[in-house]
Structure 1
Amino acid sequence: MQNYLETAVAALVAAAVALFLVEVVHRLTRRFGRRSLLLTELTDHAHRPFQVAGTVLAVQFAVRFTTGYAVGESWRRLLLHLLILGVIATVAWLVACLLVVVEDTALARFRVDVPDNRHARRVRTQVVMLRRLTIAVIVILTVGVMLMTFPSVRGIGAGVLTSAGVVGVVAALAAQSLLGNVFAGLQLAFSDAVRLDDVVVVEGEWGRIEELTLSYVVVQIWDDRRLILPTSYFTSKPFQNWTRTEAAVLGTAEFDVDWAVPVQTMREELRRLVEGTELWDGRVCVLQVTDATGGTVRLRALVSAADAGSLWDLRCLVREHLVAWIRDNRPTAMPRLRTELGDSTSNLSWQWVQPRRPARRLSDTEAPDDARVFGGSDDGDARSEAFVGPEETRPQ
């Protein structure tokens, strides 16, 4: 009974001393580290694991030193073993918290709430991926060290090593997909192909990268749905990244109208529209005729915005405004289908066309060769040279 009491009293005293010392260190660190972001983060996030780890370590030393070598009770050996396991677990917790604090301190220097945040999002993606990897490694090492404290586990170590080749092959085949996703996640984090908050188009869906892990990527669709894809998808299949180099993007709005449309007047109306809205970033405002076949003219309005969300609203605004402008101000420019009705002999007056006096035909030397795109003029010759491969070297 005396041994029990001595062990209990020593454990309580050691725990009290450890808690007191940890509290003193905590208060001193908080007082002298007000101007240091790293010390502030340590006092806020690493205090509890430091407190638990110090207490368990102090109790373990107290029990070990008060037990003595002559005493061989099984309960003391069991208690010491449990305390050793507690020390390993709490120290691993403390190390993980310290790494997280260091990573958070590094992330605090890179703000993502600014317009040009591409570099900050890249660093944030890499740090988040490294955090997940380091925590996973710490957990695996902790479990391994705790298992090695059992004599039975140490005894089968030789057998495990002898069969490591077979086990390795089986594990590689079983975890091929998992390891592929893990390496794909690391590749994405450090290749700068995709980052957190990047705007992407994947599987025909438009959204942003909400979460990037070692095994999967969460894409937040524009209508608040979530598209979850394996990380290997982004390394094996093509996808659109609208914000890889910068957040500003271009977008189009197309219109099929009649040939009677006044293009220049409509172009001026587009300019007046974008200059009166805050969605336009002032870079690009173009209206071009991109097609003129099939009885209609296709106009493409190309506009720019500071980010993908503003571009979406700006494109919708351009469509709505120009459709209403054509309907109210230029109704003749609305798409129409023309049909000619008449008899087969073409005897109606509006079908008869008086033949014109034949124009003088130019001679072969006077007529320019306009039928060739890659020749017939200086510009055509230059265009032709751009598509001609290198000349083969003739043998002398």
Structure 2
Amino acid sequence: MGMERFIQEFRNDRAWLPDWLVSCGVMAVAFLLGLAIQRFGFRFLTRLVESRDLFWRSLVSRTRRPMRLAILTWTLSLGATIAPLSSDQAEVIRHLLLLGFIIVVGWMAKIALHVWMIVYLRRFKLDTEDNLLARTHVTQSRIAERIASFMIVAITIAATLMTFPAVQQYGVSLLASAGVAGIVLGLALQPVLKNIFAGIQLAITQPIRIDDALIVEGEWGNVEEITSTYVVVKLWDWRRMILPLSYFIETPFQNWTRDSSELIGTVMIYLDYSVPVNAVRRKVEEIAATSKLWDRRVVAVQVTDFRENVMEIRILVSASNAPRTFDLRCEVREKIIDFIQREYSASLPRVRAEGTASAVRTAAGKAVRHGTLQS
């Protein structure tokens, strides 16, 4: 009753002014009042959460704009109640304010989700040697966040559209013909829905995680980012390969760090049969022992095959992750080549040619006759 009496007295006192001028003045005052409330309210909340944890501080700092929109929506709704608006004008303003309220709710929900996810993931470190647990939580959380964000945006858009009578009628007609509409909508949104369900499956089964070392399409790289629709793989030469989420559900690929980051690297060398294998083995063990890249777990030298002119020697060395394994393999190659060149240079791979004395004399005679004819 008090508010209604105040509104009636306000209108009676200013009956001599045009309605449009009063309405513009009231809405302008409501707008300025909203800005002032937001400014002082934000300062108050900032001081209030200074001693609180990171979640509340981040939430207040990131919700400055949606808070402004929410306060303006409230003050403008009060102004629309006081201003002498016509029924059509009041209906338009109420509709706009309702849209603003729906957008604020969706915006605040999305920000709160993002801030909570950042705070939650701060406890996991990806730059440690054994980061399997961290990569698991980061991957699940980021996929879940993107799916939830997509759902928040979709619900917000649907709620705003349903405020229009024409869209409401269309929605009712869709429900009336749900069978045909469902088929058409499913076909139209098949790529989007396919990636959404692939994202849910990736979050649950986790064939890939953030920072996993993969071989995809014949390229080696690390998973840099997982979005709601695609995966970014950072290749070894800093190129980026963009793949849809469904690729990792439908296509075979190699994951070198599925269960752990440790890897065994392979180095293949081909040497003459005269090279002593034990000497090569001792040198490889020495190289591994003095290397900062070796994790002290696996080092082995084996003759794995005999060829026509050379023997195949396989060297195995282990390291804590894929980049260190690659660098360790290169280090072993360089140092073992240097060792062979210095100690057994005569035993490098060669092509042997043997013949009888008569065959040699015959070949020499042919060469002499050929030279005589040319001269």
Task: Provide the TM-score with structure 2 as the length reference.
Answer: 0.84
On the 8 A contact 2:110/2:152 being kept in 1, the answer is yes
Structure 2 residue 61 is matched with structure 1 residue 41: no
3-state DSSP of counterpart to 1:298: strand
1:362 aligned partner:
none
Against the structure 1 CA distance between its residues 249 and 26, is the aligned structure 2 distance closer, same or farther, given a 3 Å change threshold?
A: same
List per-residue Cα deviations over 1:305-360 (Å, max 9, x = no partner): 11111111111111111112112211232112233312899xxxxxxxxxxxxxxx
Equivalent in 127, 133, 140 of residue 147 of structure 2: 133
Which of 280, 283, 287 is the aligned partner of 1:273?
Answer: 287
Aligned to 2:41: 21
Amino acid at match of 1:25: L
User: Which deviates further from its counterpart, 335-344 or 180-189?
Assistant: 335-344
CA contact (8 A) 2:296 2:318 kept: yes
Which of 236, 242, 245 in structure 2 is aligned with 1:222?
236
TM-score, normalised to structure 1, is 0.80
> Measured at CA, do residues 18 and 308 of structure 1 come closer, stay the same or move farther in structure 2, by a change above 3 Å?
closer
Structure 2 residue identity aligned to 1:231: L
Q: Which letter maps to 1:289?
A: V
Note the residue ranges of structure 2 that are not aligned, 5 or more in a row. 1-17, 360-375
Deviation (angstroms), 1:214: 2.7
The answer to whether the Cα contact below 8 Å between 1:15 and 1:58 also exists between their aligned partners in 2 is no
Q: How does 1:55-94 map to 2 (within 5 A)?
A: 55-60=72-77, 62-67=78-83, 72-94=86-108
Does structure 1 retain, via aligned residues, the 8 Å contact 2:256–2:263? Answer: yes
Q: Partner residue of 1:374?
A: none
**Equivalence map 1:1-396=2 (5 Å):** 1=18, 3-4=22-23, 5-30=25-50, 32-33=51-52, 36-60=53-77, 62-67=78-83, 72-342=86-356
**Which residue identity lines up with residue 187 of structure 2 in the other structure?**
L
Helix, strand or coil: the match of 1:156?
helix
- 8 Å CA contact 2:273–2:347 kept in 1: the answer is yes
Structure 1 residues 46 and 268, CA, compared in 2 at 3 Å: closer, same or farther?
A: same
For residue 282 of structure 1, give the secondary structure of its aligned residue in structure 2. Answer: coil
Compute the displacement of 1:86 (Å): 1.4
Query: In structure 2, how many angstroms separate the alpha carbons of the residues matched to 1:42 and 1:272?
Result: 56
Is the 2:302–2:315 Cα contact (8 Å) retained in structure 1? yes
Deviation at 1:46, TM superposition (A): 2.5
Letter in 2 for 1:66: I
The one-letter amino acid paired with 2:60 is T
| Cα distance in 1, alignment partners of residues 74 and 260 from structure 2 | 51
More displaced 10-residue stretch of structure 1: 4-13 or 183-192 = 4-13
Kept after mapping to 1: 8 A contact 2:319/2:325: yes
Secondary structure, aligned partner of 1:295:
coil
Q: Measure, in 2, the Cα distance between the counterparts of 1:166 and 1:269.
A: 73
Unpaired runs of 5+ residues, structure 1, are 346-396
Q: Give 1:290 deviation, angstroms.
A: 0.7
Taking CA–CA contacts closer than 8 Å with sequence separation of 6 or more, which of the two structures ends up with the larger relative contact order?
2
Whole-angstrom CA distance in 2 between matches of 1:215 and 1:335: 52
Q: Distance in 2 between matches of 1:171 and 1:151?
A: 21
Give the share of equivalent positions with the same residue, in percent. Answer: 38
CA 1:202–1:11 in structure 2 vs 1: closer, same or farther (change >3 Å)? closer
Work out the CA distance in 2 between the residues paired with 1:15 and 1:207: 50
Give the number of the structure whose residues are more often helix, by fraction: 2
Aligned length: 339
- Tell me the distance in 2 between the aligned counterparts of 1:86 and 1:104: 27
